[in-house]
Structure 1
Amino acid sequence: MYSFSSSLFSNRFLQRSTLSPPPPPHILKVSSVRIEEKPQNPQSPPPSPPVYKPNGTSAPQVPQVSSSKPSSSSSSSSSSASANKIKRFSQPSLPSTFCNVFDDIINKFIDPPIRPSVDPKYVLADNFAPVNELPPTECPVIKGELPPCLDGAYIRNGPNPQYLPRGPHHLFDGDGMLHSLRISKGRATFCSRYVKTYKFNLENQAGSPIFPNFFSGFYNLPGAATRGIVTAARVVTGQFNPTGGVGLANTSLVFFGKRLFALGESDLPYTVRLTEEGDIETVGRCDFDGKLFMGMTAHPKVDPDTGEIFAFRYGPVPPFLTLFRFDAEGSKKPDVPIFSMVQPTLLHDFAITKRYAIVPDIQVVMKPIDMIVGSGSPVGSDPQKVPRIGVIPRNATTESEIRWFNVPGFNIMHTINAWDDEDAIVLVAPNILSIEHALEQMELVHCTVEMVRIEIKSGKVTRRTISSRNLDFGVINPSYVGKKNRYAYMGLGDPMPKISGVVKLDYGNNGVKEAVRNYGDGCFGGEPFFVAKDPDNEEAEEDDGYVVSYVHDEKRGESRFVVMDAQSPTLDIVASVKLPRRVPYGFHGLFVSERDLTKQLPHH
């Protein structure tokens, strides 16, 4: 999920994991996993894939993924299914065999998964367990009718490990899988596809994990040193090429420049396409004509009025933070390195106003000394650090105009919105009160939503709590990004990372009101998303629309897509779609209208 977590699997498991129907919800069980036999068609690993050029002549060939289940719509999408057929191989080379053996030794004796936060029996329990791909499959609408404004596709990204790990595995380490519900004239078609990253393709053809997991694999010096040696050996012996990308594309999505991107901040964006039949195809990594390298945030901001896109990347070496932007056509502008961020910090999200970009400098930092002395992960909290907020003109070409404001105790992983208010800026965001648990014990994390006002000239900072509930994964009406707004739709942690319902916050007129929709006993969802009834109507009320999400019933082992009336005092569910199989819990989603889907650029 994060830039410091440049993914991936160092543990050897030479068989592909698939899932039986969801198990009863008793924790610590992964008995739902069955192992398929490996194909016997050896072939050498592929070289680094070509990078997709938005205005180039060709796109890389997408590996093929076979349809695991028939569907009523699959016959009409045979070409799409053919474009998603996976070829898998199992005969490892001699160097690969040696590396796999050493991986087993490391995972069993040197650095086994003894902590619950990286033990696959905990991390991948119940509906966190991975699923197979699913070709486009029609779904019944079991309640109400799907509103016309939902014509398009709701897509949610999340981790779904290709191989069941035997060694340490963090929730953020799974390969990216997109779960899409294509809606047209009241009918729904569901599809699940992996993002065919370089890592995914290489490991799929090798028949085993090749890349190391950062969060779970480098927690102490013995584990880090030995896994580092194995990784170096794999590179030297040609098992993978680091220039091909090491990311997972498992965090979020964004649509701009007539392209849909799957994002994970440890790598370049991956361009994906939704077909008319509802299938998902990976086009390839996109470097924007060689102007983007190393990575990009999974939370870029799209200005709804200008179409500009604002983004950043961060890393463990100076400059620890770099800002950049794209014009409305998707052309990248020059980098703006921020050298006044003096310590490598986990910077997952930021905000924009019409005039400024706002970046947090929080207490989650890179701590290699802790790893060396064997006392912790290379990423952890620094209680001595005072959190700051950086404010810089969003079209700045240098960091000369950035100003930093101390905001003690304000640690944010996500933002909700920000806007200009005369000579001040206002930021609304969930504040993590227990930042020391943000990566290791997420069930202990509690986030309260705060409104922070910063007077630019005087430097005065004022704060007020909007809600003391445990809320995160907040969204707004996308038409209000960077502008003063009134409503936010938040995921209710019970505990995090499970979401037991949606809370609508009304923080207008100096007061706070709440509307709450609980999903029910044993039912959990994810990040909500707001879809306006008429996004082109400038006179429409801000909350005139619907809130959508995937929801899973752990008792019945069923998942559904729910549509809630955003203006209802209790967020009434007005429509529900039964999905053909369970959808694992994930990260961030996006709704793309039919109008935007028809604008997608072709592969060539």
Structure 2
Amino acid sequence: MAKLQEDAMDGSQPINPYLSGNFAPVRSEDDFELKITGEIPKGLAGAYYRNGPNPQFEPRGQYHWFGGDGMIHGFFLEDGKARYRNRYVRTNKYVTEHAAGQALFGTFGNPLETDPSVMGQDSGVANTNIVWHAGKLLALEEGHMPTELDPLTLETRGYVQDYRDRTTAHPKLDPETGEMVWFGYSIGQMPFTRTVSYGVTDAAGKVVRRDDFEAPYSSMIHDFLVTRNHALFPVLPLTGDLERVMKGGPAYAWEPEKGAFVGVMRRDASVDTIRWFQTEPNYVFHPMNAWEEGDLIHADVMEYPQAPLFPNADGSRGQNAGARLVRWTFDLAGDSNAIKRTRLDDLDGEFPRFDERHAGLAYRHGWFAANTSRSGDVRFNAIAQVDVKTGKRSQYELPGSDAAGEPVFVPRSAAAPEGDGWVIATIYRGAEDRTDLAVFDAADVTAGPIGLAHVPRRVPFGFHGNWRGA
């Protein structure tokens, strides 16, 4: 992966790669009717929303890609046509800095890089994910409550106060109950606590559960796993440490000596019943899916040997190896708390997605952004398709300097078989410095896009998106 900071060619000053190229922000808010090449299927009607970091001003201090202001990119598809609209999420941070005409908050709210005038104020950025649940469009990040947006105008409506404290950027939507299951980490008034919340929002959008428990240590728990009956909480050694920060060290850093744990709990049980399984140090930003098979729980995850994009605890540069698709198996009936790990694929990848009608259930088909030649780089040059039952994998490789975003599956209809539908993804066209929204036949991504909607400028590299049907 690209280094967090590199020296300029003449050695005069550091260059942050996450403020250049297609990582650099696009600060205009635009509305475009998009030219179409090929065909956007008429059955593909609705909106695709993509979230990502987009700092409105030159950041203060050591900018990290994860710390930019949230910007939503909306693609609205109907009758084979496409419209585009992008808007900043008007968080307290955005509004306060906009009024001041400059950046005031440090990355992750770092007090050493934050202007005294805003010390202690809300620094949420709402920049990581965006989901549609119970009639609400929610912009998410893992340090604050969900922010509601208007699904058509993308106007910011503000925090959903029912959540009371920080929540995850990666809730899970239960296809059988309609519930949204979620968690939050580093809960409390002080940063980098060991306290984790487990929560449930019912199908009507009401928060019906929020319980706290203590993790083995303070970890960046970016995502978790949910099956029909269980929730799994990965506590992996990308650690947060306030004392380290106050001494000028990194807010989050790799500490493999802390060990790697996954807490397993029945969804209908008390948090006091969590059973902690252990494995070798590794890091996972994103799982594909998890499900139960008798007393076994299987979880397919994109596993790194070491957390990328972050330094070691002493501030030295960390390793940036790529992630591979790995299956974790937990034996709930066994005496051992060891996690069995089985590699499913040998291609570097990230942003794994699947047919979410099978969330928490046995499944077969998955897709992810992949690197076929640039190992350890966040600029992905392929879209991969994998059959987790047979192990067969295929991919569509992009030409030249083009780069793919997260592939999102959209079913052809509510009753369509698993995997029958389309995969949509943004593709950055490096030679033209602009972006396309690409539509693939989900069953044959190797054939390339069946339709492209051309954005007349670029959409910066970002994180996650989701589909809302018409």
| TM-score > 0.5, shorter chain as reference | yes
Instruction: Specify the alignment match of 2:469 in structure 1.
Output: 593
User: 1: distance between equivalents of 2:379 and 2:228?
Assistant: 34
Tell me how far apart the structure 2 counterparts of residues 338 and 356 of structure 1 sit (CA, whole Å).
Answer: 16
Structure 1 residue 214, shift from structure 2 partner? 2.8
Please tell me whether residue 301 in structure 1 is matched to residue 167 in structure 2: no
Structure 1, residues 122-181: CA drift from partner, whole Å, max 9, x if none? 2211111111233321111112x1113321111110011101236421111210001111
- 1:136 aligned to 2:31? yes
Counterparts in 2 of 1:348-427, with a 5 A limit?
A: 348-374=222-248, 376-396=249-269, 398-427=270-299
2:388 corresponds to 1:507: yes
CA distance in 2: counterparts of 1:283 and 1:156, whole angstroms: 18
1:347 and 2:226 correspond: no
Distance 2:59 2:299 in 1: 40
Identical pairs, percent: 28
Partners of 1:433 and 1:448 within 8 A in 2: no
Q: Distance in 1 between matches of 2:81 and 2:220?
A: 41
Distance in structure 2 (CA, Å) of the matches to 1:482 and 1:125: 38
Q: What residue ranges of structure 2 are gaps of 5+ in the alignment? A: 1-6, 312-316
1:533/1:545 contact within 8 Å kept: yes
1:271 & 1:429 partners in 2: Cα distance?
Answer: 29
How many residue pairs end up in the alignment? Answer: 448
Quick one: distance in 2 between partners of 1:368 and 1:287?
Answer: 27
1:322 aligned partner? 197
User: Out of 429, 446, 457, which is 1:581 matched to?
Assistant: 457
Alignment of 1:177-576 (within 5 A): 177-214=71-108, 224=112, 227=113, 230-231=115-116, 233-235=117-119, 242=121, 245-275=122-152, 279-288=153-162, 292-315=163-186, 316=191, 318=193, 320-339=195-214, 341-374=215-248, 376-396=249-269, 398-435=270-307, 437-440=308-311, 444-460=320-336, 461-493=339-371, 494=374, 495-508=376-389, 511-534=390-413, 536-537=414-415, 540-568=416-444, 570-576=446-452
Displacement of 1:28 in angstroms is: 6.7
How far 1:442 moved relative to its partner?
8.2
Root mean square deviation, CA, Å: 2.2
CA distance in 2, matches of 1:582, 1:184: 22
TM-score (norm 1): 0.71
Give the 3-state SS of the residue equivalent to 1:123 in structure 2: helix
- Contact 1:28–1:125, Cα closer than 8 Å, also in 2: no
Q: Is the 8 A contact 1:474 1:489 kept in 2?
A: yes
| Amino acid aligned to 2:44 | L
8 Å CA contact 2:220–2:236 kept in 1: the answer is yes
Cα pair 1:369 1:378 within 8 Å, conserved: no
Is 2:61–2:106's contact at 8 Å kept on the other side of the alignment? no
Q: Is the 8 A contact 1:190 1:580 kept in 2?
A: no
Gaps of 5+ in 1: 1-26, 30-112, 219-223, 236-240, 595-604
Q: How many angstroms does 1:257 deviate by?
A: 1.4
1:468-519 Cα offsets, whole Å, 9 max, x none, are 21111101111010000011111114343212111111111xx311010112
| Aligned mates of 2:202, 2:8 — CA distance in 1 | 48
1:124 paired residue number: 19
| Residues 183-202 of structure 1 deviation map (CA, whole Å, 9 limit, x = unaligned) | 11111101111011111111
Q: Residues 32-85 of structure 1: CA distance to partner in whole angstroms, max 9, x if unpaired?
A: xxxxxxxxxxxxxxxxxxxxxxxxxxxxxxxxxxxxxxxxxxxxxxxxxxxxxx
2:155 maps to a residue whose letter is E
Matches of 1:247 and 1:254, distance apart in 2: 17
Q: Following the alignment from structure 2 to structure 1, what is the Cα–Cα distance between the partners of residues 118 and 358? A: 48
Cα distance between partner residues in 2 of 1:474 and 1:552: 19
Report the CA distance between 1:546 and its aligned residue: 1.0
Q: 1:175 and 2:69 equivalent? A: yes
User: Counterparts of 1:359 and 1:186 in 2: how far apart (Å)?
Assistant: 41
Higher strand share: 2
Shift of 1:438: 3.6
